[in-house]
Structure 1
Amino acid sequence: MNPHHHLDHSTLIGYACGALPTGFAVVARAHLDICRECRRHLRLAEGIGGQLLRQQEGEPLPDAARQNMLARLQTEPSSLPSPPRPAPVRHDPDLLPAALHPYFGERYSRLRWRAIGPGVQVIRAAQVQDSDLILLRSAAGRSIPMHSHGQNELTMILQGAYDDTLGHFAPGDVADLDCDIEHQPVTAPGVPCICVAATDAPLRFSSWLARMLQPLFRL
């Protein structure tokens, strides 16, 4: 698996210093487990996170210093040695990423989906209190209504794929979105698309019908 869409640098810093809401940290961990590039960036982010934590005990970090840290995160990891390659393991297509096991169980075949619309099913992680963490399953060739985000959303593709204005998202890719992004994901033909997503505010749908139905499917 070779992801083409990665975690935002600010998300990596938040993860490094333990500042992400639980749902976002879970999705970030699932991506980090399979993405060598983001693991390399995380090593530098951990150093930046330490500086941010120390700043909390003194003067607020100036904007210029924060921007300099983000610039370092974009440029420096290429000079870092690659982390050791994990020992190869037999791939089990029925096994969810390990980071999701405490919230959804271990196997896709044991998931209990709840329908929220034609061709769309969901499972919510009841244990997460500071954000929403869900598994979302959408039938092949189906589109999610056009929407933006109240605050932030972090989504990782587990199976299948979808396309939107940001590109093609396949297994392992993450969509790290904020309130400025408006999109309409359309699942690829052939197989259903399964994603894990974390949000910290309800979606903002463009169509009046989707807004009317939103309280029913709680997205």
Structure 2
Amino acid sequence: MAPSRHLDAATLIGYSSGALPVAFAAVAASHLELCAHCRAELRAADAIGARLIEQQDGAPLSATARDALQARLVEDIVVPRRAAASAVADPDLLPAPLRPWFGERYSTLRWRAIAPGIHMLRGGDAGPDGQLLMLRTASGKRMPMHGHGNNELTLVLRGAYDDVLGHFGPGDVADLDAEIEHQPVTSIGAACISVAASDAPMRFNGWIARAIQAVLRI
């Protein structure tokens, strides 16, 4: 089933221009690998960006610039499509943009328990602009109520959850800002595996969750 929750237009433009922090770009690229709709939207954003460059310079793109843009289109559109086909053939493979951070396969992930029914895996150093985390949450689990200090981009890889915004299944992305406060509840069945990029600590309401947050630095 195709994803039904997509990247915000501002996120797509940031990705197209190369302005997204690396952690956010990894999540966005992973969604693009799974979502034909957002790949088409990205193609349009890249084309608009190219036209703006032409207008700013007052001249058509040079041959070098055209070659660079074509290479970018291949990277953003063709490569994710091929990677998605590979993942369908081998469902144990993580999306290609996440493999440098977490490894190639779900079956080799080394999870760390952080609470009953909740496991976490921290990606490599994402630099000063954010962090990248992968979570595995048992089915039927109610997460603590929380908000976000600034921006968070979450992609569901396996399983599903529901919150105040609706239902999120495999391939769906939640593009959140500081105004959103929610309490995800994972669907009955398989565990929910998601990957999230954030550029500020989460805001938990309960003192137990806040104590865990202080230890884990999330």
TM-score relative to the length of structure 2: 0.82
2:81 is aligned with 1:43: no
1:12-40 per-residue CA deviation (whole Å, 9 max, x = no partner) reads 00000000000100000001111111011
SS at match of 2:194: strand
The answer on whether the counterparts of 2:126 and 2:132 sit within 8 Å (CA) in structure 1 is yes
Tell me the equivalent position of 2:206.
Answer: 207
2:151 is aligned with 1:152: yes
Distance 1:44 1:167 in 2: 27
The alignment covers a number of residue pairs equal to 194
The answer on whether the counterparts of 2:125 and 2:131 sit within 8 Å (CA) in structure 1 is no
Matches within 5 A, 1:8-27: 8-27=8-27
Q: How large is the RMSD of aligned CA atoms in angstroms?
A: 2.3
Identical pairs, percent: 57
Query: Which amino acid letter does the alignment assign opposite residue 193 of structure 1?
Result: C
Q: 1:46 to 1:217 in 2, by over 3 A?
A: same
State the 1:53 CA deviation: 7.1
Distance 1:117 1:104 in 2: 21
Distance 1:55 1:147 in 2: 44
> Comparing both structures, which one devotes a greater share of its residues to helix?
2
Distance 1:135 1:115 in 2: 12
Q: 1:54 to 1:217 in 2, by over 3 A?
A: farther
Query: Which amino acid letter does the alignment assign opposite residue 107 of structure 1?
Result: R
Matches within 5 A, 1:69-88: 86=81, 88=85
Q: 1:149 to 1:86 in 2, by over 3 A?
A: closer
Residue segments in structure 1 that go unaligned for 5+ positions in a row: 58-82
Distance 1:46 1:193 in 2: 33
